Structure 1
Amino acid sequence: MRLLLLAPFVAASCHAGEPAGPPFETFDSAGIVITESSRPLWAESEAWSLSPEPEFVIGAGDGDERYVFTDVRGVRRLPDGRIAVLDAGSNRVRLYDPSGVHLLDFGGEGDGPAEFRSSQYLGLDGDEFVVFEAIGGNRTWWSLDGHLLRASGPFPSEDRASGTLIMVGTMADGTAVGVRDGPSGLPAYDVGLNRRPWSVWTFDLTAQVSDSLLEVPGAEGMILETGPGGTHHQRYVFGKYSVLAVSDDRVHVGSNDEYAVRSHDRDGVLRAVVRRMMDPRPTDRADLRAWVDEWIERAHVLADERGEMRDRMLELSFAPEMPAFRSMAADAEGNLWVEDWVGVGVRQGSFSVFRPDGAWLGSVTIPEGLSEDRISYYDQTIEIGPDYLLGVWTDEYGVDQVRLYRLEKPTG
């Protein structure tokens, strides 16, 4: 995605009740292009939307095991419409026709050359699949019909010592991008609230080396406490964290302390900042109570255990402000999709779409249940093409389903 310096865009007319002035402004600061949006560009008739019903649904709670998923970690749509699903629970890649009918599996649990132990990422490398394994960094290439073509062994032991590498995505030139949960050599966790940095790496899929690119803020998720009873960890509610997305020539980092995404080039140099102008929302104990109630409901805690569980969780510490957003993805055309934070962050939000020059186009509502596995520094459970959104949903029974919705873009 290439960001261009544009003059401020002035709308021909404003919607009723909207402030006058440009909806976004772009300026240069020491070679960094900064775009700040105060309101969306789309009029109601221009807004994108998803089809009311999916084109297909793959996934069942029981029955034919070819349609039962246990831990989907990646989805890909091939140019001919076939759908590939990486099910890490079975360490298999499953291939389906454009209507969702199973065609074949490849991989499987084991240590053989055509088997996986920790499959984490499914990508397309030209006209081949590539599967990345988080433990060790093994990479294997497969034909689009599921035949093993070649493999690259694990990263050297001294490289692996700096932590498990989780692959995020690839740039247009094939450069792979991954994240390690904290650089090597960090001291033990400190007493109090901890937020260890994450280390972003680039590497050549075919080589046995990787290079550190930059550090990003990690997760504000844990408090370490000591006392007469020893040391214990406490969850920190509404803690901030970073999400990453990779496009053709950028690594996008969004730390949700504020509504801002920073775009770095393949050398780690900051090139652009995209901001949506909005004030952070303060939190209070009513938010914590709402979060606890929703968490208990979603966790299906037994009725006779709910009271005690609720009392314990209401003792948790929480951040003074809500995170600015929840997750992020880059689509095939270089637009950034940033999921808005809704309520106490348990329910799914709509996605605000920012075009390649950083201007905020508007929001797209996504059907409820999009998999929460994407809420991390990596995201392969959603793929957004020019005219479709492929993703993993969890239905009301907790069953993982792969669905494809058409992305409708008015042309008038």
Structure 2
Amino acid sequence: MRKLWVAALSISAAACGTGTEVARGPEVVTDTIGDTIVVHTVSGSVWGSDATLVPELSIGEMDGADEYLFGSIASIAVDDDHNVYVFDRQAQHVRMFDTEGSYVRTWGGPGQGPGELQRAEAMAVLPDGRVVVRDPGNVRLQVYGPGEESSQEWPYTTGYYTSSPLWTDDQGRTYAPARDLSQPQASFGDLLAVFDPDGTPRDTISPPHGEFEGETVTGERDGARVTYGVPFSPRAIWAVHSSGHFVSGISSDYKIDLELPEGVLRIERTYEPARVFPREADHRRAQTERGIGMSIPGWTWDGPSIPDTKPPFSGLYSGRDGRIWVPVSTEAQEVENEDHDPDNPFSTPVNWRSPLRFDVFEANGTYVGAVNPPGDFSPNPSPVFEGDDVWAVSRDDLGIQRVVRYRITLESDP
């Protein structure tokens, strides 16, 4: 094992949104353990301060042309020219907008015919500009473009209904959630069906950490069985990186693995755990009891204790540029629920809200810095990240959805 201490790794980078060249660097410890390179950030970052997201472009209106009104945005994507694609689950079609936010065209529509969609769920863009839509309702992947009238159908017999994203990589491969048809009742498993750029099924692969079993609580009665995860307990998290490899981790520790052809790059960071407040734990335990109680009346908590700190991270996203975006846990605040309905057993007088925060890493493990998005920024559906630009869905006080392009800006900038 070889260990190297780098006390203030010097990296030249452009300060986001300013165009000013700066030289800042984190303090890093690197280890080489077999075929795993560990990059552990002790302190500091390339940016030297936190960043925020400033909106630059908004697509979507409450009043106006139908092309700019969204019913239920389930997926967004961006191509190399920064055209924006929006899949509307309610309308069952994909709308394309240019880099200025102007409407270009619509693909799809509800139905079972060529080019139509039935209970489609997610969308992604291939490097050549084609749009792939996962449509288990029609048992296929529907492919549009690059021309207005061009479309293809790729059989997708292993598909099932899920809220998972659809992934593509920079080699033009597509990754879709799949089930193992060789198992009894075609059980749903953590599998991905991989398709080549021409739609040929390439392989079925298992994401990492499939053997990990997080803590759960279970209610059973008269043949009914309901299982919930213990709130704030660690879980296995993974995503498909733009390189076509997995980025993954078990959230008990701040350790994230990026698979590489020659081995593994492990990203680590020293962090301060976010606390779980006693009233917050009581709130989440009560939610779990109500959920299981819907099927197992009278069920009360009989599982392990809820942790008093949160896992270091709660998700993983891969940017188009290879950067890794990590939603990190933050401490929550108790806020009044203005929409509380006493007659709804799942409605509570108060909610606990945790500010959204991302850690951003380069694909070589360098810690770039932290980003604090505005309150109307939604991490679902999956945002699109590329360089200093972020595209995400935003919802206003009236519930109107929009797709917003944000610019990363350092909070220390004037």
When normalised by structure 2's length, the TM-score is 0.73
Partner secondary structure for residue 281 of structure 2: helix
Gap runs ≥5 in structure 2: 11-24, 288-297, 333-351
Bigger shift: residues 139-148 or 321-330: 139-148
The residue that corresponds to 1:98 in the other structure is: 99
CA distance in 1, matches of 2:45, 2:138: 46
Gap runs ≥5 in structure 1: 14-20, 190-195, 296-311, 375-380
Distance change in 2, residues 1:272/1:334 (3 Å): same
The residue that corresponds to 1:113 in the other structure is: 114
**Pairing 1:368–2:361 present:** no
1:326-362 CA-to-partner distances (Å, cap 9, x unmatched) read: 2222223322111111224843422111122212222
CA distance in 1, matches of 2:181, 2:264: 23
Alignment equivalent of 1:355, drawn from 359, 362, 383: 362
The residue that corresponds to 2:194 in the other structure is: 202
**Pairing 1:36–2:31 present:** no
The residue that corresponds to 2:342 in the other structure is: none
Q: Map residues 108-257 of structure 1 onto 2, 5 A cutoff.
A: 108-117=109-118, 118-135=120-137, 138-155=140-157, 159=158, 168-180=166-178, 185=183, 198-205=190-197, 206-208=199-201, 210-217=203-210, 220=214, 223-227=217-221, 231-234=225-228, 236-241=230-235, 242-257=237-252
- The CA deviation at 1:152 is 1.9
Matched residue pairs, number? 364
The residue that corresponds to 1:322 in the other structure is: 310
Tell me if the contact between 1:234 and 1:316 (Cα under 8 Å) persists in the aligned partners.
Answer: no
CA distance in 2, matches of 1:314, 1:62: 48
The residue that corresponds to 1:334 in the other structure is: 322
Tell me if the contact between 1:258 and 1:280 (Cα under 8 Å) persists in the aligned partners.
Answer: no
1:287-325 CA-to-partner distances (Å, cap 9, x unmatched) read: 2246589x8xxxxxxxxxxxxxxxx99969663242221
**Pairwise CA RMSD:** 4.1
Distance change in 2, residues 1:361/1:80 (3 Å): closer
Letter in 2 for 1:364: V
- The CA deviation at 1:98 is 2.9
1:264-306 CA-to-partner distances (Å, cap 9, x unmatched) read: 247xx8512111123645645322246589x8xxxxxxxxxxx
Tell me if the contact between 2:191 and 2:204 (Cα under 8 Å) persists in the aligned partners.
Answer: no
Letter in 2 for 1:50: L
CA distance in 2, matches of 1:228, 1:213: 34
Distance change in 2, residues 1:49/1:237 (3 Å): closer
- The CA deviation at 1:236 is 3.4
The residue that corresponds to 1:378 in the other structure is: none
The residue that corresponds to 2:17 in the other structure is: none
1:189-221 CA-to-partner distances (Å, cap 9, x unmatched) read: 9xxxxxx97334533251145322444347858
Alignment equivalent of 2:264, drawn from 252, 271, 281: 271
Letter in 1 for 2:95: R
CA distance in 1, matches of 2:82, 2:195: 29
- The CA deviation at 1:185 is 4.2
- The CA deviation at 1:113 is 0.9
CA distance in 1, matches of 2:163, 2:409: 36
Distance change in 2, residues 1:184/1:367 (3 Å): farther
Partner secondary structure for residue 230 of structure 2: strand
CA distance in 2, matches of 1:400, 1:260: 34
Distance change in 2, residues 1:184/1:327 (3 Å): farther
- The CA deviation at 1:225 is 1.5
Bigger shift: residues 328-337 or 139-148: 139-148
**Pairing 1:261–2:249 present:** no
Distance change in 2, residues 1:202/1:260 (3 Å): farther
Tell me if the contact between 2:109 and 2:116 (Cα under 8 Å) persists in the aligned partners.
Answer: yes
- The CA deviation at 1:373 is 2.5
The residue that corresponds to 1:10 in the other structure is: 7
- Counting aligned pairs with the same residue, the percent is 18
**Pairing 1:404–2:411 present:** no
Partner secondary structure for residue 126 of structure 2: strand
Tell me if the contact between 1:134 and 1:166 (Cα under 8 Å) persists in the aligned partners.
Answer: no
- The CA deviation at 1:402 is 0.6
The residue that corresponds to 1:393 in the other structure is: 394
CA distance in 2, matches of 1:215, 1:221: 18
CA distance in 1, matches of 2:37, 2:135: 36
Partner secondary structure for residue 377 of structure 2: coil
Partner secondary structure for residue 287 of structure 1: helix
1:6-40 CA-to-partner distances (Å, cap 9, x unmatched) read: 95432289xxxxxxx97211111111111111213
**Pairing 1:288–2:285 present:** no
Tell me if the contact between 1:164 and 1:180 (Cα under 8 Å) persists in the aligned partners.
Answer: no
- The CA deviation at 1:94 is 0.9
The residue that corresponds to 2:18 in the other structure is: none
Tell me if the contact between 1:168 and 1:245 (Cα under 8 Å) persists in the aligned partners.
Answer: no
Partner secondary structure for residue 216 of structure 1: coil
